[in-house]
């Protein structure tokens, strides 16, 4: 069968345009000698040709293989277009064109020109600004190797530590977008000092929320922002319950998407009617949902991560080491201490408190041990001194029971509990506390 006239037409036009976009335009963009008017003329011609091609295109009449090739070409053109947009954005924002057109900010002007929201426009402006200090990312962008979302993730992370630029570009070239995002989150976490890490964790905790609303079709919706450790706990409990429901459904050959089982799990858990816990089959009855945290031995000793180290919950993201150390009293934490990539030790801290130690502890500390606090309900074990890397956590001497309120002060406000001569000593955080202006967010006492 002879090729359709459309196909011949597309082949004759797309290839020259491909060459033009891949070789001519990048050359023009990086050569300051090229006259501006020729750049604009070339681009206008390309736009005219692409517009005409699209107007005449009949996707149903090309072979699927050709369609795949054309889709790939257009994706490349899209990346080049995004690159040109970002490269010229900063300079455009420096001028007064946006003010002349009646906009209150460059971002608002950008949003209108690019037909996007303000958030997206601001992100492009930030990306353009960050590129000034990231020459290799700029080059990769010019070559059309990065999509808009990729360059945004790279500049955001490499800004805090430009020495990671090469590594992030490598991740963009070899990993999925999700993989790149995860790597970028680790880079950002490792570039923070212990204090910055603490402040960052606190800022996330303070900005937590759960919102609900109804869609126009009547569906109930919710959206939440949680600290990573809380997110890890939630996810772990949801997965246990959803897995159970999935296996039950499979017995009756009933298949729904995994997200549907997660939604059922959420409702059942919150309503206090988890099917997994009610199961007669004990192997499906999960103990409390556990969260596995992978952390470098060195980082665990030091108290925070540095370059090349990790402390994260798989599937959730980085968690501050200090947070992990302070939350050790809970039975849901499983710490996988890694040396390089190998897991060298597994600390299942909460469960390493044997029943007889727990009984002795409850006997010794019937109320919160913080002096003058007499709260006797909702007490939590606090490991005030733990040899993390060796998992030596279970003696009565390094355990104390505290109320939720004091546990939160230790966890988020850096208050300290230490054994003193006549009992427990409760110490203000180094640098003092700031209750007057900055009250803690949760009163659970």
Which residues contact Zn ion (rule: CB under 5 A)? 368, 370, 373, 375, 403, 406
Residue reference for tokens 């945290």: 293
CB closer to Zn ion, 291 vs 368: 368
Tell me the sheet residues that pair with 317: 313
- Shortest Å, Cβ 439 to Zn ion: 16
CA distance 224 to 266: 13
CB closer to Zn ion, 169 vs 402: 402
Classify residue 190 by burial, with Cβ atoms within 10 Å: 0-12, 13-18, 19+: buried
CA distance 87 to 43: 15
In a 3-state reduction of DSSP, which class is residue 213? strand
Cα-to-chain-centroid distance, residue 15: 39
- Shortest Å, Cβ 417 to Zn ion: 10
CA 159 to each of CA 124, 154, 241: distance values in angstroms, whole numbers, following the listed order: 14, 8, 40
Classify residue 165 by burial, with Cβ atoms within 10 Å: 0-12, 13-18, 19+: buried
CA torsion sign, 225 to 227 to 231 to 234? negative
Kindly state the tokens that stand for 62: 């090309």
Residue reference for tokens 């009449």: 61
- Shortest Å, Cβ 217 to Zn ion: 47
CB closer to Zn ion, 156 vs 382: 382
Cβ atoms within 10 A of the Cβ of 422, count? 7
CB closer to Zn ion, 388 vs 415: 415
CA 300 to each of CA 192, 291, 386, 425: distance values in angstroms, whole numbers, following the listed order: 15, 17, 11, 25
CB closer to Zn ion, 375 vs 396: 375
- Shortest Å, Cβ 375 to Zn ion: 5
CA distance 122 to 331: 43
- Shortest Å, Cβ 426 to Zn ion: 9
- Shortest Å, Cβ 294 to Zn ion: 32
CA distance 314 to 334: 12
Cβ proximity of 365 and 353 under 8 Å: no
Tell which residue, 292, 283, 286, 291, has the closest CA to residue 265: 286
- Shortest Å, Cβ 379 to Zn ion: 8
CB closer to Zn ion, 335 vs 409: 409
- Shortest Å, Cβ 365 to Zn ion: 11
- Shortest Å, Cβ 399 to Zn ion: 15
- Shortest Å, Cβ 402 to Zn ion: 5
CB closer to Zn ion, 328 vs 403: 403
CA distance 302 to 304: 6
CB closer to Zn ion, 202 vs 406: 406
CA end-to-end span of the chain? 81
CB closer to Zn ion, 272 vs 439: 439
DSSP class of 397: G
CB closer to Zn ion, 90 vs 407: 407
């Amino acid at each position: 069968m002879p090729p359709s006239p459309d196909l011949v037409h597309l082949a004759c036009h797309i290839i020259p345009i491909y060459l033009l976009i891949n070789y001519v335009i990048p050359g023009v963009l990086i050569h300051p000698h090229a006259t501006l008017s020729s750049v604009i003329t070339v681009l206008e011609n390309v736009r005219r040709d692409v517009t005409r091609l699209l107007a005449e295109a009949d996707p149903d009449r090309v072979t699927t293989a050709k369609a795949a090739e054309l889709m790939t070409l257009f994706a490349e053109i899209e990346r080049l277009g995004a690159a040109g947009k970002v490269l010229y954005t900063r300079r455009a924002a420096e001028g007064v064109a946006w003010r002349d057109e009646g906009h209150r900010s460059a971002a608002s002007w950008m949003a209108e020109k690019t037909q996007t929201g303000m958030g997206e426009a601001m992100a492009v402006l930030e990306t353009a600004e960050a590129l000034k200090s990231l020459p290799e990312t700029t080059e990769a962008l010019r070559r059309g190797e990065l999509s808009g979302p990729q360059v945004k993730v790279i500049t955001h992370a490499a800004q805090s530590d430009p020495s990671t630029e090469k590594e992030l570009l490598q991740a963009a070239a070899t990993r999925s977008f999700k993989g790149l995002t995860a790597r970028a989150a680790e880079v950002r976490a490792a570039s923070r000092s212990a204090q910055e890490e603490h402040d960052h964790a606190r800022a996330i905790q303070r900005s937590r929320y759960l919102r609900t609303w109804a869609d126009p079709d009547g569906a109930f919706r919710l959206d939440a922002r949680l600290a990573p450790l809380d997110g890890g706990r939630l996810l772990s409990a949801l997965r246990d319950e959803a897995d159970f429901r999935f296996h039950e459904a499979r017995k009756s050959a009933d298949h729904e998407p995994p997200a549907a089982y997660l939604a059922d799990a959420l409702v059942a858990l919150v309503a206090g009617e988890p099917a997994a816990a009610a199961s007669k089959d004990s192997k499906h009855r999960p103990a409390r949902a556990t969260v596995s945290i992978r952390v470098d031995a060195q980082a665990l000793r030091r108290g925070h991560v540095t370059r090349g180290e990790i402390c994260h919950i798989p599937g959730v993201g980085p968690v501050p080491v200090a947070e992990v150390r302070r939350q050790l009293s809970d039975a849901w934490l499983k710490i996988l201490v890694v040396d390089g990539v190998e897991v060298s030790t597994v600390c299942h801290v909460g469960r390493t408190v044997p029943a007889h130690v727990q009984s002795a502890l409850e006997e010794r500390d019937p109320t919160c041990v913080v002096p003058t606090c007499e709260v006797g309900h909702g007490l939590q074990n606090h490991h005030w001194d733990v040899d993390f890397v060796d998992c030596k956590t279970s003696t009565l001497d390094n355990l104390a029971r505290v109320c939720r309120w004091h546990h939160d002060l230790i966890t988020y406000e850096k208050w300290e509990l230490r054994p003193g001569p006549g009992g427990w000593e409760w110490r203000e955080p180094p640098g003092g506390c700031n209750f007057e202006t900055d009250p803690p967010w949760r009163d659970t006492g």
